[in-house]
Amino acid sequence: MATVTTPAPASDTSAWSRWANDHRKWLFAAPAMAFVAALIVFPLAWTVYLSLTDAEGSVRAESEFIGFKNYLDVLSDTDRFWPAVARTVSFTGIALLFEVVAGMGIALLLWRPFRGERWVRVAILMPLVATPVAVGMMWRLIFDPNIGMANQLLGWVGIGPQPWLAGKASALPTTIFIDIWQWTPMVALILLAGLTSLSDEPQEAALIDGASTWQRFRHVTLPLVMPTVIVAVLLRGIDALKTFDILYATKGKGGGSFHEVETLNVYAYGLSFDYNEYGVSSTVLIIFFLIIIGLMWALTARRKKEAQR
Amino acid sequence: MKTRTPYRVFRVVALVVVVLSMVAPLLWMVAASFKTNVDIYDSSKALAFSPTLENYTKVLQQANYVQFIGNSLWVAFAATVLSLILGVPAAYSMSRFSMKKSALVVLMARVIPGVSLLVPWYYVFSNLRMVGGFTVLILSHMFVSLPLIVYIMMGFFDGLPMELEEAALVDGLTHIGAFRRITLPLSMPGIATAGILSFIFSWNNFMFALVLSGADTKTLPVAIFDFVGYASIDWGGLMAAATVVTLPIMLIALFVQKYVVSGLTAGATKG
């Protein structure tokens, strides 16, 4: 930059301000970095340490270093751990699939301007900003087997009452539904931002070539918006894996009496704060964290490949 | 592009279905908050009921919700302001000097499961006898707010042309002076977006407060959770409590919709 040589005005040439000016890069970034380091890096290191101990009970209790015993125990636990992994995977996978498909549908509906657009956008923003715990309670009332609106609606079309959140098999799908209700708008808004940033020319060219609506979507729009789809999957996927609020709000401790909705996050939370099994919970968390990092890494690699095409 | 009539009809119908499915459950919650528990149990009174404020007076007067509203406001406000003070300059540096690795460290906070930090935090802060106080609660919420603010502001600064700052340097301002007098005022839309989003996320946060708040510092989501768990659920009161926590956020979203959407979709369209 040529401007660097410009002399600073006399009022601003104290030694401190010159030093600050020269070191502004780190002066600006350091406080935030220090905060993150203190609250994340150090605690994470401690979690790794705890996962190698038999810490339990009180936080002031003595704990012993036991090596990888927790890891062996957790990885061979087919009673709680692996079912929790399976639930986490199906919760995230199914929710993501529906959210991306429905989100794309909504984004396409909103793509071209229309009258009342503002109000539609406000409406779809509502589930997304609503407090998840309140959302959980709201659906608890709607899905209540005896007094809920859901069974009443089913009754009107001649279908018998369902147990919804109270059922052993239906609880997880019901919470997936709640997640889809709350987060499809998020995916829709991200995809809409992607669609809006596309230029019109490829669409017009395809139209002139006589491509049908489906062909235009499949072969023009979708490939162009694919990088945004991957961002949406990435952002939503991370949060879906970590879903806690609606699960804890609708089913309480341990993901219900049969652990119907106990995902890894709920399992780890329960181990830590309902049962004070700090050592084992840290092990579960480290494994969980590694899974998330792995998935993220895979998706980011995919996104880079997509961006290069 | 011209659209054919059948598609237009389809589009209107589809949009109505989408809007209804998003809004109807929330309206149902608000409606139930104005019903007596007798009416909630009576399906013939689904829509035709005589509204009552009984649930709200119960929640606001007996259940201490006024204090919880205050707690939630204070925690969200403090976490947002402190995160902006730390996050905006950091995002500026990371954007202008392309500090990719540093940015990644801050953004890691968005990826890490909160529970894995809660365990060590709980260890440290309960040994310091700080659990239950506002300080720990605000710090934990900053863990959510700061990465969000850095993420949004980095995108904003990336899109802010350097020419104005360079002109200010030519005019004799220092780099820091140019940041303070030129860049910051120009960044107000970005700061508003980041601040609003941070406030919403902090207001809605449940897990940190569930572990780290005490009887006097309890925030609204935890207070709502505590509403259930006893013998039978007081549905009217619960829905009033749920409405009390959700309504302010929905009003924010209604009035500053543009900021909320741009914050939520920040960085989505970058390559």
Q: Hey, which residues 47-86 in chain B have their CB within 8 Å of chain A?
A: 86
CATH fold of the domain at B63-264:
MetI-like fold (1.10.3720)
Size of interface A-B (CB pairs under 8 A): 308
Place of tokens 């429905």: A102
Indicate yes or no: CB of B228 within 8 angstroms of CB of A137.
yes
Distance from CA of B251 to the nearest CA of A (A): 9
Q: Do A175 and A251 touch, CB atoms closer than 8 A?
A: yes
> Torsions phi, psi of B133, nearest 5?
-95, 165
Q: What span, in angstroms and rounded, lies between the C-alpha atoms of B157 and B103?
A: 13
Q: Which residues of chain B have pLDDT under 50?
A: 1, 271
Name the β-bridge partners of B213. Answer: B132
pLDDT score at A309: 63
Q: Are B74 and B253 in contact (CB under 8 A)?
A: no
Q: How confident is the model at residue A3 (pLDDT cuts 50, 70, 90)?
A: very low
CA distance A64 to chain B (A): 16
pLDDT in tens, B68-84: 999 999 999 999 999 99
| pTM of the predicted structure, to 2 decimals | 0.91
Q: Which residue has the tokens 């060219």?
A: A205
Output the pLDDT for position B271. 39
Other beta carbons within 10 angstroms of residue A163's beta carbon come to 14
Picking from B1, B4, B11, B22 by the largest number of A CB atoms within 10 A of its own CB, the best residue to mutate is: B22
Instruction: Mutate one of B13, B119, B125 to test the A interface: name it (highest A CB count within 10 A).
Output: B119
Residue A212, CA atoms < 13 Å, CB-side half-sphere: 3
Looking at residue B270, its pLDDT comes to 57
Q: In 10 A of CB A284, how many CB atoms? A: 30
Conformational region of residue B152, where left means phi above 0, alpha means psi within -120 to 50, and beta covers everything else: alpha
Helix (H, G, I), strand (E, B) or coil at B213: strand
Contact between A288 and B116 (Cβ < 8 Å):
yes
Alpha-carbon distance A191 to B125, whole Å?
41
pLDDT at A165: 93
CB contact under 8 A, B170 and A3: yes
Residues 72-111 of chain A with CB under 8 A from chain B are: 105-106, 109-110
Q: Which position has the token pair 């539609």?
A: A120
Q: Is A190 exposed, middle or buried (0-12, 13-18, 19+ CB in 10 A)?
A: buried
Residue A60, φ and ψ in degrees, nearest 5 = -95, 0
Long-range contacts of B78-81 (CB under 8 A, 24+ apart): B78/B134, B78/B138, B79/B138, B79/B141, B79/B142, B79/B144, B79/B145, B79/B198, B79/B202, B80/B145, B80/B195, B80/B198, B80/B199, B80/B202
Q: Which amino acid, one-letter code, is at A114? A: F
Asked whether the ipTM of the predicted complex exceeds the cut of 0.95, the reply is no
Which H/E stretch holds residue A128?
A: helix A117-129
**Cβ–Cβ of A21/B142 closer than 8 Å?**
no
- Predicted local confidence at residue A12, as pLDDT: 52
Q: By the 8 A CB rule, do A128 and B246 touch?
A: no
| CB < 8 Å to A127, chain B | 22, 25-26
* Cβ-based contacts of A119 with chain B (< 8 Å): 19
pLDDT one-digit tens code per residue, A53-71: 998 887 777 788 898 999 9
Of B15, B41, B175, the CB nearest to A109: B15
Please tell me the distance from the alpha carbon of residue B191 to that of residue B42, in angstroms, as a whole number: 48
The pLDDT mean for chain A works out to 88
Distance from CA of A290 to the nearest CA of B (A): 10
pLDDT class for A1, splitting at 50, 70, 90?
A: very low
- Where do we find the tokens 């709920």? A266
How high is the pLDDT of residue A13?
A: 64
Interface of A with B in 276-305 (CB under 8 A): 278, 281-282, 285-286, 288-289, 292-293, 296
Nearest residue to A291 (alpha-carbon basis) of A260, A255, A253, A264: A264
In chain A, where the domains are located: 12-50, 78-308
pLDDT in tens, A216-233: 899 999 999 998 998 899
Chain A residues 140-159 with CB within 8 Å of chain B: 140-142, 147, 149, 152
- DSSP annotation of A281 reads H
Question: What's the pLDDT at A146?
Answer: 86
DSSP code of residue A235:
H
Backbone angles phi, psi at B132, to 5 degrees: 100, -10
Position A295 scores a pLDDT of 86
Directed axis angle between helix B188-204 and helix B134-158, to 10°? 140
**B231 close to A (CB below 8 A):** no
Selected from 3.40.50.300, 1.10.357.10, 1.10.3720.10, 1.10.10.10, the CATH number assigned to the domain covering A78-308 reads 1.10.3720.10
The per-residue pLDDT for A2 is 44
Q: Which residues of A touch B43 (CB under 8 A)?
A: 147, 152
* Option in B22, B115, B139 nearest A127 (CB): B22
Residue A181: per-residue pLDDT:
97
